[in-house]
Amino acid sequence: MKRAKVAYGGAIHDAFEHPTGVQLADGRVLSEDAVVWLPPFEVGTIIALGLNYADHVKELSKELTVTAKDEPLAFLKGRSSLIGHRAQTRRPEGVAFMHYECELAVVIGSTAKNVKRENAMQHVAGYTVANDYAIRDYLENYYRPNLRVKNRDGGTVLGPWLVDAADVPDPHALALRTWVNGVVTQQGNTSDLITDIPALIEYLSGFMTLNVGDVILTGTPEGVVNVNVGDEVVTEIDGIGRLVNTIVADATFGR
């Protein structure tokens, strides 16, 4: 099942996929652009992974000192960074390189503490699509991204659907792609994850408790390119969803 949360008519609604748009829990069917899309579940802690695709590591190889012995590059994000499907993301005035990151997001469905990889997938509720923007100008070093790179308000798009884990037979065999203004600029597959989902859950739950609603952004493959004001960015993962976002200027937010 594909589930969403939307705002319509002054209220927040649970919603579901419908051939002509989106169906509210009360049965009303609306067009996709008639509602305000929210992150599709109550989000807890946001854990993001960097450099988790070998081709992306190669893409940044001149800027990195990373080896196969390194632990996963994980960092936390604030909830204010999240926005929903069809929302706008601000490109700050004067930056030279801002790029998208299409990522499979793993949603935790039950408390996980000191979980072994063979039991890890039992703690997954489902999956959604994330587009986690970064501004390369702000990086202090390319191996440990700072707060201004990855925790900007509205810099992480999540949705549109939460897809039940039972409906995703193999989350490690999903094609990812990104379009900018209708042109494919990024393609990859979750089969190329350096640290797979069970290993990530084992690693993270070994030092922190994962709770219901926590979400793990699993990283992005190669193919990140600069985006500009006015660009429409679509990140898509087969079987999970198609997430649309638009880049706007500071002035749109009164800055």
CATH code (residue 191):
3.90.850.10
pLDDT in tens, 200-253: 999 999 999 999 999 999 999 999 999 999 999 999 999 999 999 999 999 998
- Are residues 186 and 98 part of one domain? yes
Per-residue pLDDT of 157-192, as tens digits, reads 999 999 999 999 999 999 999 999 999 999 999 999
Please report the pLDDT score of residue 151 as a whole number: 86
Q: For the chain, what is the mean pLDDT?
A: 92
173 and 92 housed in the same domain:
yes
Q: For 115-135, what is each residue's pLDDT tens digit?
A: 999 999 999 999 999 999 999
How many Å apart are CA 119 and CA 26, to the nearest integer?
37
**For residues 82-107, average pLDDT:** 97
Count of beta carbons in the 10 Å neighbourhood of residue 112: 23
Mean pLDDT of 135-150: 75
Mark whether 1 and 105 lie in a shared domain: no
Residues 9 and 86 in one domain: no
pTM for the predicted model, two decimal places: 0.93
According to the model, what pLDDT value does residue 142 have? 55
pLDDT of residue 143: 56
Do 112 and 159 belong to one domain? Answer: yes
pLDDT over 90, % of the chain: 83
Clarify whether residues 44 and 2 are in a common domain: no
Are 189 and 244 contained in the same domain?
Answer: yes
